[in-house]
Every structure is written in structure tokens, then in C-alpha cells.
Structure 1
Amino acid sequence: MTITQLQYVLAVAEHKNFTLAAQSCFVTQPTLSMQIQKLEEELDVQIFDRSKKPIQLTEIGQKIVNQAKNIVNESDRIQDIIDQQKGEFGGEFRVAIIPTVMPTLLPMFLNHFIKKYPKINLIIEELNTDEIISRLKKGTLDAALAATPLQEDGIKEIPLYYEPFVGYFPESHKNYALSKITTDDLSLDDILLLQDGHCFRDGILNICKNKNTTQDKNFHLESGSFETLIKLADEGLGYTLLPYLHTLNLTEQEQQKLRFFVDPQPAREISILYPKNELKLHIVEAFKNSIQGIIRGAIAFHDVKIISPKLK
């Protein structure tokens, strides 16, 4: 039994297809199939039921896969231990970022990080919070940036910064005349929201959780884009709330429509997340320091009220 054979088994279990699994492992399909067959012969069990489409794990195969994940993850950590002992910053580092953070934060620190740590192969994906949690627990991510607190077992959270929610009101909206707003000024009747699945959307609903809807709108729209929500607000179709960093990229005319909350401002907590058993802590620390060093000059809010990213 070899680590390579177990890696091939995990690839087939993930893709449920020998050809796709071979491609992900950068080997030919016959090579991968032969190694898995050799492992099955050695163990005298059938790991995969090849008669089903897509390929399925057998009952004993599922148990083998569960154990193989632990073995492969631990074997990967040997190089991590060596790198950490030597203080070397290199190798693959897999990071996920939630969609409402990626467009604004990533351009701020990425260039600085890759220039400072050129030997790190940084792999970045845009994922929602549920997928991030799942993959951190599976060990297929080294770290992530997401809104917290999440308080998930086995996952460590280190806050990086606090980002206030900011109101965006067209001139036709009654709140445009206010210099600052409170949660009492908000209404669910005419708010424009991101589509379901965004934790930022859930945060807004938590801010407005005590607000009653008093009228029926003749349209209902949820978008995956802040730009779309802003354009709809400009057309007089409602208002929206934006994350503070997103407001920095607005035009001067658009910024005139922004209204900040009175203190303590409702805000989201953005943290770096990683598995508690993670051994790439020196890279996690470097990643954290790189972000905080850049973000400190752009955002520094302390008198805030943290809004849960989970819908209550």
C-alpha cells in the first residue's frame, strides 16, 4: 500500500470517474486504474462498484476513503513540518475567499504578498461560506477569508478587520435627507438584496430582523452583484446596504448617496480561518500580516456592533 495509491482512490471518490480522476492526478487513466486494482487485490476488497454510473464506493470502500483522507493529509504535513522548522515560505497554499470580500480586498494585498513570498504557490478560489467550511474540514483548503463568527468545530478564526455596513440611498428616498442613519430608519419594503447564499445578505436581514413588511412590491429581485443593486437604487427602485470597502470604489456622485450608521455601527467581522490542526501556521501568519498591513491604512473602525453572518 502506498500514499500514491491512496491519493488515486481519493481522486476517484471525488470525481466518480476514472478518467477525470487521472487528469486531476496528472497520470494516464490506465496507470491510475492499475494502481487502484493492485490496492484492491492487496486488501482483498472491492473499493469501487464499477457497475454503477457514476462509479460508487462500496460500503468498505467508504470506510477506506475516510481513513485514506487522514493518512494522505498527515503525509502532506511532513513537508509542512520541515518548512516550518526551517522557516521556509514555499509550496502550495490553498485559500478561499467569500464573493463579497474577494473583489475589494484581493487587489489590495495580492501583489504585495506574491512579491514578498515568491516561492509560495498561492491558489485562490471564490467560494461561499458553506463550501469554505466543508472544504476546510475535508482538508482541501489551507485557509479562507470569511465573515465571522462561525464557531465551527475544528476551525480557528482570527479576526482581521471590522467592516461597517453603509446605506446607499437615491435622492428620491426619504433617508437621503439624513446625515446619519439608525437601524430604525431601515425598512424591508424597499431594500434591494444580494441573492440567497450570500452571508452579507443574511447579515442585512439580521440588521432588519425586527422590521415588518407593510406593503407588497410589484417586483422582487435578488442579485449577485452590488453594481446591479446600486443601479436599481439609482433608478429609484429602493435602497441597499454595501460593505465599506466597496464604497471606496464608487464615483464621487455615488458617494454622495452614502449614509453611515450612528455608533456603534453595524459591521461584519472578517477573519482568516484555518483548520486547528493546520501545520502551515507560518504561512497563515504571513498571509494574515500581509492583509492587516495593507488594510490598516484603508479601514480602521472600532466602535462597531458585530452582525452575525448566519441568518437567525
Structure 2
Amino acid sequence: MNFEQLEYLKEVVETKSMSIAAKNLHVTQSAISQSISLLEKEFGIQLFKRSRNGTIPTDEGKDIIAKVLEILKKADELKEEIQSLTSSYNGELKIATVPSIFMTYLPKALSKFKKDFPQIKVTIIEMDNREVIEEVNLEKVDLGLIALFNPVEQRFAEQITFHSLHSQGTFNVIVPNDSVLAFSKELELIDIKEYPFVIYGKNFYKNLIEDFEKKYGLLNVIFRSTNSEVIKKAVSEGIGISLFSSLMLIDDPYLESGRIVSIPLTGYPLNFNLSFGGIYSKSRSQSRLIKKFLEYFEV
């Protein structure tokens, strides 16, 4: 028995498939099968059985597999402890982030992190959600900070780890303070679709309202901008109304001064909460540094 065999076993347990496990680990299926067979011979019991639900542990195998997973967990903890004892944090951290996190949580977390680790060079790039996920998948950045429409249904590539920031947001309509809409307690997109819109972002809101527009017709969009301040200025001047996540309106000077009014948006298609989190590749050499940085969002 060796750690490679145990890693093979763990992957089969998680994927319920020897073929998928082999693909994920970049080995042949026969290598996985032979490894499992050797373990079964060594342990003297059958570890897995094939069923309509895939390759699943036998009743006898469950107890052995539970102990194997515990061994692997302890081995990972030992590796991390050894790494922390033998090396200090160093290098560079490249971060891609959506604007809502960039404007709110990130500055505070980064300020605290830099005080503790001034030797770490941090580079930040602002992008939309799709671009952030793509940059992380291609390993062009170390960490991606994103908003999720449905965390339960969201699926990432096998090598990507998701870390929740334990924060949620809703959608709001922002309108000028002298608009008749400013007296509304809540609004639905279908009731305001004829109003002139100034839309923020390249793809985020576009993707959200595409299905709506196919069903109910196009919104009356005057212009789009990736500059949130331009959008809020345009709204305050009465040029149009806009859509923002509640996170992007925290401590907002336009809102606090009363130049714009924020109204909750309900109903199709934005009647759900956004969840925020970080994603990074498990194979990234800076994974230990990434985990440390993410801790600063929870302080």
C-alpha cells in the first residue's frame, strides 16, 4: 500500500467512476483498476462494486475507505504544517475580481493583508464574472473573486476550489431623486422596461436580462459603461435609471447624499440573491498564500 494507491481510491470514491478518476488523475483506467485490485488483495476484501449509480463502495469497503480518507486528510495537514515551518510567505499574488467585490470587501482585506505581509506584491485586475472564471481556469491569475447566481448549481472545473465569502446581495434599481419611481417600495423589471436605462458592465447584466428581452422585448438602453461612477452620475442627472447589486451601493456617496434612490428589484428575472466567493486552482504554486489572503475577508 502506498499514497498513490490511496489517492486513486479517493478519486474513485469522489467520482464514482474509474474512467473519470483516471481522466482526472491523468493515468490510464487500467492503472486505476490494477491499483484498486492490489489494495483489495492486500486488505482481503472487495472495496467497490459496480451498479447503476456507478462504482460505489461495498458495505465492507466503507469502513476501510473512511480510514483511508482520514489518513490522506492527516497527510495533507502534515504537508501544510511542514511547509509553514520551513518557509515564509513570499512572491506575488495576482487577483482578478468583479467590480462589486473590488469596490467593497477587497480594499479592506487588502489593507490588512499588506500590513502583515508587505513583502508580497499584489496585482489586481477588474473584470466581469465570465472573464474572471476564464482567467482562473487558464491559470493566468492566482485568485478570482466572483459573484454567483446559484452557488448550488454552479459547476467549476475539477481543479478549481471555491471559497465562500459568506456574503450575499440582491438587485436594486437606482433612480434620480426627483423621479416618480423614487417613491416605490419595490419594482419589477417588466414594469419599468420602457424607462431609459444606463447599464453598468460589459456582460454581467447583459447575460442576466437576455432571456427577459427575448420574452418581453428589448430594454430602452441609452448607453452602457464599465465605469460605475459614470453610471451613477448619469442617473443622478436624470439621464436614465440603472441596475446595481446591493453590494455595490454600500457606503455610496450618491446614495448617502440623496442624489439617487435605491429600490429593491423583485420578480423575474432578478428575484434571487447573489453569493460572493473566491476561486483558485488546486495546482497553483501559491495556493498556501491564496488561502492566507482569503482569511482576511473573514477578519
TM range (shorter): 0.5 to 0.7
Equivalent of 1:159 in 153, 164, 167:
164
Give the alignment's TM-score, normalised by structure 1.
0.56
Aligned to 2:289: 283
Alpha carbons of structure 1 residues 244 and 94: separation in structure 2 relative to 1, 3 Å: same
Kept after mapping to 1: 8 A contact 2:176/2:259: no
Equivalences for residues 98-247 of structure 1 within 5 A: 98-148=98-148, 149=151, 151-153=155-157, 154-160=159-165, 161-183=167-189, 185-187=191-193, 189-197=195-203, 199-203=204-208, 205=209, 208=212, 212-213=216-217, 220-247=222-249
1:165–1:242 CA contact under 8 A, matched in 2: yes
Deviations 1:24-67 (A, max 9, x none): xxxxxxxxxxxxxxxxxxxxxxxxxxxxxxxxxxxxxxxxxxxx
Structure 1 residue runs of 5 or longer lacking an equivalent are: 1-79, 294-312
CA distance in 2, matches of 1:93, 1:241: 32
CA distance in 2, matches of 1:202, 1:214: 13
- More displaced 10-residue stretch of structure 1: 110-119 or 146-155: 146-155
The one-letter code of the counterpart of 1:250 is P
Q: Structure 2: where are the runs of 5+ without partners?
A: 1-79
Matched, 1:249 2:252: yes
5 Å matches for 1:252-263? 252-254=256-258, 257-261=261-265
Does the 8 Å CA contact 1:187/1:211 hold for their aligned counterparts? no
CA-based RMSD of the aligned residues comes to: 3.5
CA distance in 2, matches of 1:211, 1:190: 19
Correspondence list, 1:40-59, <5 A: none
In structure 1, what residue type is equivalent to 2:252? N
Contact 1:187/1:208 (8 A) holds in 2: no
Shift of 1:230: 2.0
CA distance in structure 2 between the aligned counterparts of 1:282 and 1:244, rounded to whole angstroms: 31
Following superposition, the deviation at residue 87 of structure 1 comes to: 6.5
2:179 and 2:109 map into 1 onto residues whose CA distance is: 36
SS of residue matched to 1:192: strand
Could you say if the C-alpha distance between residues 119 and 133 of structure 1 is closer, same or farther in structure 2, counting changes exceeding 3 Å? same
Take 1:166 and 1:190, find their aligned partners in 2: how far apart are those partners? 16
Instruction: Compare the two structures and name the one with the higher strand fraction.
Output: 2
CA contact (8 A) 1:188 1:213 kept: no
Per-residue displacement from partner, 1:266-299 (whole Å, max 9, x unpaired)?
A: 4322210101333544322222221132xxxxxx
C-alpha separation in 2, matches of 1:246 and 1:207: 24
Contact 1:188–1:211 (CA under 8 A) maintained in structure 2: no
Correspondence for 2:278:
272
Within-5 A mapping of 1:12-51: none
Residue 195 of structure 1 contacts residue 223 of structure 1 at CA under 8 Å; is this kept in 2? Answer: yes
Question: What are the superposed Cα offsets for residues 157-183 of structure 1, whole Å, 9 maximum, x if unpaired?
Answer: 222121222221224534211123345
Q: Percent identity?
A: 19
Partners in 1 of 2:201 and 2:265 — Cα distance?
Answer: 23
